[in-house]
Amino acid sequence: MSFFKRLLRQPAPIRVPLAATDGPHAPFNPLAERALIAETLLASAARLMTVRRELELVRGVCEAMCGASQHIRLAWTWFGDEKTNVIRPQAYAGVASDYAANTTIERNVLTEQGPAYRTLGGKTPEQFRISSRSPYGPWRQMANDHGVRSVMAVPLKSSFTSMGGLFVIYADHEHYFRDVGESLFTALGELFSSVLTSLAERTALEEAVYHDALTGVLNRHALPIIERRLLRRSTTDPSSFLLMVDVDHFKTVNDTLGHAVGDQVLRNIAMTLRNMLRPDDSVLRWGGEEFLICLPNTRHDDALLVAEKLRRAVTELAGPAPVTASIGVAEVLASHDLAASIDKADQAMLQAKVTGRNRIVYRA
């Protein structure tokens, strides 16, 4: 049965005056509550389905649900490897959103955190009553700060590898989910499972398309994604730099020691480059033994320091064959295509090789 048919499988709506649902202690009418949430989600379905990113769609559904109900204080979702040791909410909404933003559930730390993990990988939703005397500290906080009295955790299922997830809802009525009915929230769980499975499949596809199979770093196909972080509309925008790194005499390594050794050298270099950079920096395998380093929001002096650190790290790299690297450095040009700056970095690298290798050349 489809998600929208599941929403519609409910008693006829009971209309409640707006004044009756206002305020922090809104009267609780289960049938009216169910009808209000279902109608709100159906009314917003067309808008939500135009959202192109999966987590934004999930967040939009949570926002619509929490916005419709005075009794749902928080809804959050998580999706990932079922065997993970840590859960952090990824999409959330509600007046208690700060709780989700700061929540970390660790499998091996506290047994009171078990309910979420029992549900993770399970087949059926679970409900929990909470109060200011709950053994789990964060639930005591939710009870005291937001009047939460019940929690429902819905497992999210995926047909993609070992991925799974959770959809967790917090309400201020002790028997909220029993009285409103589980089916409304399990239907949302089915929707989220489909949406997040699509996210997992797309992520895996992007991983294969945008990453180099040999070294694990990005490849040329990823450049349009990175380009948005590097481009400068004017000279007043923060500067960014490109480094073109070429392994010196790499053909000799292949010819004398074999391609298996050459492949291992490239893997070692790629890992070294990646580990020495900031999280926002990028490493792309540009050609056979060439790597393009992208340094967004970087000053000139810092770019040269990074280049020197990388050159020295390659020289000192332990492995089956000692190698060095020639590095060309160029600033990303304002109001120009990135290709022009890449060409400048490439020309600088060629100059470094012509003038002796194992050195850095900057081209203005």
Catalytic residues, by residue number, are: 289
Beta bridge partners of 81: 163
Question: CA separation (Å) from 196 to 56, 79, 101, 133, 206?
Answer: 11, 7, 19, 35, 15
93: its two tokens: 């909404």
363: its two tokens: 């081209």
- Which of the 8 DSSP states describes residue 113? G
- Which of the 8 DSSP states describes residue 218? B
Please name the residue that has the structure tokens 């091996």.
Answer: 108
Q: Check: CB of residue 116 under 8 Å from CB of residue 87.
A: yes
Please name the residue that has the structure tokens 């450049």.
Answer: 223
119: its two tokens: 């549900």
Question: CA separation (Å) from 175 to 127, 151, 178, 186?
Answer: 9, 10, 5, 16
- Which of the 8 DSSP states describes residue 211? B
Question: What's the CA gap between 202 and 209, in Å, rounded?
Answer: 10
Strand-pair category, 163-171 with 241-247: unpaired
